[in-house]
Chains A and B, each alone.
Chain A
Amino acid sequence: MVSRRCLAGVMLVTALCADARAAAAQTADDLFGDQAVQRIDLYVNTRDWYWLKTRFAANDYYPANMKWNGTTVTNVALRVRGTGSRSDAKPALRVDFNRYAAGRTFLGLTSMALNNSAQDPSGLRELLTMKTYRALGLPAPRMAPVALYVNNAYLGLYNAVEEVDEAFLTRAFGESAGHLFEYRWSDFYHFEYLGSALEPYAALYEPKTRVTESMGALYLPVEAMIRAMNDASDDSFVAAVSAYTNLPDFMRLVAVQAAIGEADGLLGNWGLSNHFLYRPDRSSLHRFIPWDASSSLRALDYPLHAGHEQNVLMRRALRVPALKAVYYNTLLEAAALFDRIDGPGVPEQPAPGWLEREAARLRDLVRPAAYADRARPYTNEEFEAGAEEVLAFARIRGAFVRWEAARRFAPGAGPIY
């Protein structure tokens, strides 16, 4: 009996070491590498898969094994994710690596999302938006196109998205011990002060870390931040709000969102939306982290001042010349990135810029997987039309941003009516 147990122990250690070696050879950057369509296999009990799809509106977890690049991750947890993107035919999924074993990670990740691009026929918008954020130095989730197989059958083209969680925070900010909140959209909201009671703020920001702490510990700094945005005098605005958030960082993020035409972000058409808020441990400074960008890269002339008047923080920040300059300079930085040309151009033929090249490359990369995807709610023609819309945006957006930024936000520019 003892020798059998010893043998079993040696086998397990050997297996774990082999697993570790296989994992060590790969990184999360490889998983989220968009130079190829990643193949991910999920193995789910057929009974569970049936109920997951049938009850796609619920957040029930189901066990599964996940295989990527020769490595099998056993005992992950799956659930349907999303709001408007929920679907029974092609469910968007969240994959938890640590739900059934505390502290467990895969390539340093505790979870990831598999987005179904249900609201984007091309499947390119979020990929390109997150790539733009990261290229401009903003903390944003990594993404990669994925051919998803379930129980050895091809399900469809997905996007693997790095979840905003402790692992992400560690990578982005060097620590993860603070308070992370996910914004829950329920109505139009623009940072108006909601009073001293904390419940309204709790309804807006769902805690994702330190969830068992008291309402006060969680939300008093959030309430104080929003109160400062609203109540501080013009003279004390920067000082008062800077105690709770880094204003230049905020201006950079909303500038990039404006440049990329993000219509459902911090200043989008539906008020505040699609972001996380992170307050590091023993700090009162809140950081904004973008999330879910399937509505960007649409209107070629999406205005750079969209949502400015409605949003309390943006309206007041733009009255501060230094912050307005940050906004303006970031717009120009984004436009320069969009139009950046690698190598000499061809005479008489304008070379495509970075954004257009990336859009074309990704379109060509995912096309076979998209065409083979029978679960998506779009035809091949709609895929091509959506991709062409993205390419057109990428082609001329840089010039539009420069022109519009100069008119509205350059030093000395007056108001436009």
Chain B
Amino acid sequence: MRTSCAIAGVVVAAALLVVPQAAARTGSPQAPGSAPPPAPGLSLRLEPLPPAAPGTSPQAGTAEPNGFVWDNRPGIRYGDWFTLDLRALLEGDVRSTDPDLSGSGATFEWSRRRIGVEGTVTKYVEYEIDYGFDAAGEARAELRDAFVNVRPAAFARVQGGRFKIPFGYERLTGPRNLDFVYRSRVSDALTPGRSVGAMVHGRAFGRALQYGVGLFNDDGEVPPGLEPVEPLPDEPAPQEGRTWAARATVAPLRLTSLPGRYNNLEVGGAFTSGTVPAGRNHLQGETVFGGTFFDRQYYTNGPRTRFGLELSWAIGPASIAAEYLVARESREGQGVGNEGQADNDLPEIEGRGWYVAGTWVVTGEHRDGGVKVKRPLLRGGFGAIEVAARYERLRFASAGSPQEPPSRSPRAATIAGNADRAWTLGVNWYVNRWVKIRFNAINERLDDPELGPAPGYPSLWTMVTQFGVGF
């Protein structure tokens, strides 16, 4: 099965390697500067779609054909009234670990397999639907994004449906634009991901300020599958509360006279507040290696809040990004009690982490707006090569001063926390605009290896090569 899937992936990749040549022969080159790769997450959605915003697109003055088109991807156009673009992404990973607990050596598995559409209806409404698998091991394909964004004005837009809660720079970055095979542990563990809700968002001061404030049905898809406690007789079933979230970024250099490719320094902050039902529902820490280093075994109940700071800057061929995230989860009434009180409150569980990442495109392409390959493979070049490095730390523990020796009791006042420190070194090969191959070497070190996936091994290595095809 894996072999046949791998062959299928190779065939698709080969086809997409050939397509640029065919496109060149049929005279449909990519227009200079057209349809830049989507900028990270929220900022993408805050920008008007190029074809639908007269005057903002380099193509605005050209005559767009109606009907079926294939530019960067297949689509349908009817002037400014309706556009639809087909999106697809197929990624397969070859990975190996040390220690090799399964004994199976290097393995191949499909990770993201997604298909979707996006487009506009008049210049005031955009939409997006995305469906598929987001990671290896998922049992079935799911609807990822399905939302409508109404944009009467740049500074006030309303988005509704299922989409990512506005929290976390890397979480809001689409998979095609990630610098590494995997998001950071911090981002994976502490950001909420998608939910159903509505958000007001917009930008001002020439995109120097961007904001989003939303209300969502629940606290997102991370961690998946809540396990509320079984209610006592005559007790209502515990319910998950709504979550509200806010995020704002500022790009101060946009107010200066620096050239556009250097002025995109963004700093921002975000906050979420939700309510999680009683149960073993706290955030968990997972290693890249596989398995958890902090699993969901402690009872929580009540508010879950997150706080995040972020920085990103693309400077010519280089870029840096950093985030600092904190998540706190209440444990109201989850204690065992004492002489004076039954079911006392316990100290919050705190997940805290940060990462710093940097990239450099060796072949010289600029990073702003995504790497646009100057000399694709088989079109007179080799593609673009980028090196990347990231260091991160994620720690879970009881908030505040320890009250007792740490314990794995689900109602411990001082939980047995753990931390993961990881180095990632990577090489990204942008073969052409559709094909991207990423290699990452990841070393993780756990504070308490006994709570990790490989007890007795403090150092865990993961090597992964990801083949990605998408448009």
Contacts and interface: CB of A to CB of B under 8 A. Distances in A.
Interface stretch (B319-327, B408-416, B432-440): B408-416
Interface in A50-84: 50-51, 63-65, 74-75, 77
B409 A100 contact: yes
B78 to A, nearest CB: 59
A43 B334 CA distance: 12
Interface in B421-452: 450
Main secondary structure of the interface of A (DSSP, over half): mixed
Nearest to B340: A152
Contact of B406 (A4, A15, A101, A152): A101
B141 to A, nearest CB: 36
Interface stretch (B213-221, B302-310, B397-405): B397-405
Contact of B412 (A12, A74, A102): A74
Contacts of B407: 74-75, 100-101
A14 to B, nearest CB: 11
A197 interface: no
Interface in A297-320: none
B419 to A, nearest CB: 14
Contacts of B412: 63, 74-75, 100
A65 B408 contact: no
A217 interface: no
Contact of B409 (A51, A75, A152): A75
Contact of A44 (B334, B337, B339, B404): B337
A100 B408 contact: yes
Nearest to B278: A47
B337 A45 contact: yes
B343 interface: yes
Which residue, of A8, A11, A12, has the highest number of chain B Cβ atoms within 10 A? A12
Given A50-B232, A151-B337, A151-B342, A11 B401 contact: yes
A194 interface: no
Which residue, of A51, A63, A101, A151, has the highest number of chain B Cβ atoms within 10 A? A63
B335 interface: yes
Nearest to A10: B401
Interface string A91-105: 000000000111010
Nearest to B299: A45
B336 A7 contact: no
Interface string B331-361: 0001111110011000000000000000000
B143 interface: no
A45 B409 CA distance: 12
A100 B409 CA distance: 5
A212 interface: no
B153 interface: no
A47 B337 contact: no
A45 B334 contact: yes
Contacts of A51: 230
Interface residues of B, number: 25
B404 to A, nearest CB: 5
Nearest to B410: A63
A43 B336 contact: yes
Which residue, of B230, B335, B338, B409, has the highest number of chain A Cβ atoms within 10 A? B409
A74 B403 CA distance: 10
A74 B404 contact: yes
A349 interface: no
A151 B338 CA distance: 7
Given A43-B336, A65-B336, A75-B412, A101 B230 contact: no
Contact of B335 (A7, A45, A50, A102): A45
Interface string A318-351: 0000000000000000000000000000000000
A8 B336 contact: no
Contacts of B402: 8, 11-12
B22 interface: no
Contact of B405 (A45, A50, A65, A101): A101
B343 A45 contact: yes
Given A63-B411, A63-B412, A15 B404 contact: yes
A372 interface: no
Contacts of B336: 43-45, 48, 63-65
B15 to A, nearest CB: 51
B452 to A, nearest CB: 14
B300 to A, nearest CB: 13
Contacts of B408: 100-101
B230 A43 contact: no
B229 interface: yes
A203 interface: no
Nearest to A9: B402
A60 to B, nearest CB: 12
Contacts of A135: none
A74 B410 CA distance: 12
A214 interface: no
A278 B30 CA distance: 79
Contacts of B339: 41, 152
Contacts of A177: none
B165 to A, nearest CB: 29
Given A45-B343, A46-B342, A65-B336, A101 B416 contact: yes
Contacts of A152: 339
Which residue, of A41, A45, A46, A152, has the highest number of chain B Cβ atoms within 10 A? A45
Nearest to B232: A50
A16 interface: yes
Interface in A260-286: none
A47 B413 contact: no
Closest 3 CB pairs of A and B: A75-B409, A75-B407, A8-B401
23 contacts: A7-B401, A12-B401, A12-B405, A15-B404, A43-B337, A43-B338, A45-B334, A45-B343, A45-B411, A47-B229, A63-B336, A63-B409, A63-B411, A63-B412, A74-B404, A74-B409, A75-B409, A100-B407, A100-B412, A100-B416, A104-B405, A151-B337, A151-B342
Interface of A: 4, 7-8, 11-12, 15-16, 41, 43-48, 50-51, 63-65, 74-75, 77, 100-102, 104, 151-152
Given A101-B406, A101-B408, 20 more contacts: A7-B401, A11-B401, A12-B402, A15-B404, A43-B337, A45-B411, A46-B337, A46-B342, A51-B230, A63-B409, A65-B338, A74-B407, A74-B412, A75-B407, A77-B409, A100-B416, A102-B450, A104-B405, A151-B337, A152-B339
